[in-house]
Structure 1
């Protein structure tokens, strides 16, 4: 009888470990998918800001806008339009799933407050900084912002005591190194004049997203990740549209009426809004997967997997803008592919000890 009890106990432990392992693997897959969707979000957003009224605003300054307005106000507006579209997708999805009531109830709770804080940092601050940096320095900012996994891992260790051993640190270091390898393809004699400032602004985006990923992972461990992302996108879209864009217009001396006119023109530009609708959808799916993945496998691993957007960003831009759009300058050199392979290896090291793969084969 005692032997039977021990055997059952052993089987229970094995089953429990298998469930834990499968849960972790699912979290990793979801987090990796978020990186792919973020790549398409970046590509569709860039395409949207080249169509319709945006083509007039950026095309040789035909609209008579100042350089500072083009650099900062339009970037904030582009981020606002995208996040508003993403919020509409998120609210629609929550309504379809019958969770819209939970969305309003969660706004009044402590986890809901945590998500609002994450949205205010990752939305108006980081998202706008990302778009500004893209306009100033080009695609090199994508891998620079991929420093957010390392930042999020460190913050996760400090704030929430999440495990961060030497092996994970080495893996994160490899991911960061591969990001710089990919980013090095954008360095050359034809680099934009504002590259240094653009890189600094990109680092601000990385800091904000690192904090957001850390805090959001904590928040979505207490509430449904689908509700969490609806809160995130709704707060981000509204704060971008109603606070940041008007504030930038006031700071740069153009006034509220100016920002209102720009906003109306942006939302009524059909050729551009098609792409913003797609970028908003991809942003919604990406952030939902990111939040969900972080809650399942921890901020360090979840953000490292999401950091693959440092490859998917340039790759998706090449597909959407270069191949589909016929625009020049979006091809990928061999070093980008090499960097992607190295990044995958870095993620593997963060997720597990690679030697365990051989040990499993030996015991099979």
Structure 2
């Protein structure tokens, strides 16, 4: 019985390689875009919290306690942004005919895993992130960008995932960069609450690192678009109906009335709506980019938000709207870039890029 032979068309092989390379390159661009959009999310949310009714709440004659100003307003800002993001997510799901899929998936075990992750990344991480921004400014963003490093450590401790010497080197680089940023808190000409703000930024990084570990399971079984919709809706609801009322009760403040004012204030809500859209898109493009260029490289590209966050805040809040205090010292800019390198090393072996190039040449 003769053996069947299949002729290989060299032109077809070359065309396939070009298509694969183009697909991967497009994925890298999408993943980079997710990092940029995270910067806009940060800037627009912060801008919304400095407009309209928010200027009264942060004013000296607001009648709010220190606890309410720090925690209740931080939770309310995160809740408003997450709720706007949830509205965007549901609207897009309805337009695309995916709302039924969302309702079915949220009842499943992977769907509940996503809900759990959203509770950690929504009320806890988002509020800590907002509080940190209000206390210390955009310098908090690179600290929050430690989440991939934290996720790698937690993945090893909780799920026995690989943590080799290369990844440990990347983690060390990330934490060295965070200490460089923290060193800006040593001196006389710094905000009084800088170190406290950096602490809350680190809390956000830990919570997002936990969310990343948990979401790895959920998104492996659920379509990313549906998974993101579950996440945003859960984060919005849990922030709005759990954390804000809790802080309002502790502060003896009418949190319901403040929520109504936050959503109906025309000067502020437009910026929260833009922040919500940016938040939805940054998660969407992160998952899409990971699918196209690989999770490791996608994570590295998304980690550029440690640079884009402060940059967008500086451009929008500092340059365009003239708010003071959004410029970062040179050491913080350098640390943000160093942290991107550390994230890249955690996510993938840089030598793989040279191997890919060698394969293309061969």
| TM-score normalised by L of structure 2 | 0.86
Which is worse superposed, 78-87 or 64-73? Answer: 64-73
Q: Work out the CA distance in 2 between the residues paired with 1:183 and 1:47.
A: 24
* Residues 219-258 of structure 1, C-alpha deviations (whole Å, 9 max, x = no match): 111111111111111111011111110111112333xxx0
| Counterpart-to-counterpart distance in 2, 1:197 and 1:319 | 25
Q: Do residues 352 (structure 1) and 349 (structure 2) align?
A: yes
In the alignment, is the contact (CA less than 8 A) between 2:318 and 2:327 conserved in 1? yes
Q: Which residue of 2 aligns with 1:317?
A: 313
Could you say which residue in structure 1 is the equivalent of 2:109?
110
With 337-346 and 192-201 compared, the bigger mean Cα shift is at 337-346
Mapping for residues 1-364 of structure 1, pairs under 5 Å:
4=5, 28-59=28-59, 61-160=60-159, 162-181=161-180, 184=183, 188-254=187-253, 258-293=254-289, 302-349=298-345, 350-354=347-351, 356-357=353-354, 360=357, 363-364=361-362
Q: Deviation string for 1:119-171 (max 9, x for gaps)?
A: 10000111011111222233332121111111112333455555443223323
Q: How many residues align?
A: 359
Q: Secondary structure at the match of 1:328?
A: coil
Structure 2: gaps spanning 5 or more residues:
none
1:294 Cα shift?
5.2
Please provide the CA RMSD for this pair. Answer: 3.3
In 2, Cα distance between equivalents of 1:103 and 1:340: 37
Q: How many angstroms does 1:104 deviate by? A: 0.3
Distance 1:74 1:163, change over 3 A: same
Query: For residues 316 and 81 of structure 1, what CA distance do their matches in structure 2 show?
Result: 20
Q: Compared with structure 1, are the counterparts of its residues 355 and 215 closer, same or farther at alpha carbon in structure 2 (3 Å cutoff)?
A: closer
- Report the alpha carbon displacement of residue 187 of structure 1 after superposing the two structures with TM: 5.5
Q: Is 2:30–2:288's contact at 8 Å kept on the other side of the alignment?
A: yes
Query: Residues 329 and 136 of structure 1: is their aligned pair in 2 closer, same or farther, counting only changes over 3 Å?
Result: closer
- CA–CA distance in structure 2, aligned partners of residues 48 and 184 of structure 1: 29
Structure 1: segments with no counterpart, 5+ residues? none
Matched-pair contact (CA < 8 Å) for 1:76–1:244: yes
Using the size of structure 1 for normalisation, the TM-score is 0.85
Distance 1:281 1:69 in 2: 27
Cα distance in 2 between the residues matched to 1:305 and 1:183: 24
Post-superposition offset of 1:28? 4.7
Deviation at 1:322, TM superposition (A): 1.3
Greater mean alpha carbon deviation, residues 64-73 or residues 138-147: 138-147
Q: CA deviation at 1:265?
A: 1.2
Paired residues of 2:178 and 2:335 also in contact (CA < 8 A): yes
Q: What CA deviation, in whole Å up to 9, does each residue of 1:255-300 have, x standing for no partner?
A: xxx0011111111110101111111111111122334455667766
Deviation at 1:308, TM superposition (A): 1.9
- Matched position secondary structure for 2:128: helix
Displacement after TM superposition at 1:215 (Å): 1.5
Rounded Cα–Cα distance in structure 2 between residues aligned with 1:186 and 1:43: 22
Maintained 8 Å contact 1:213/1:291: no
Aligned pair in 2 of structure 1 residues 14, 347: CA closer, same or farther (>3 Å)? farther
C-alpha distance in structure 2 between counterparts of 1:31 and 1:270, whole Å? 33
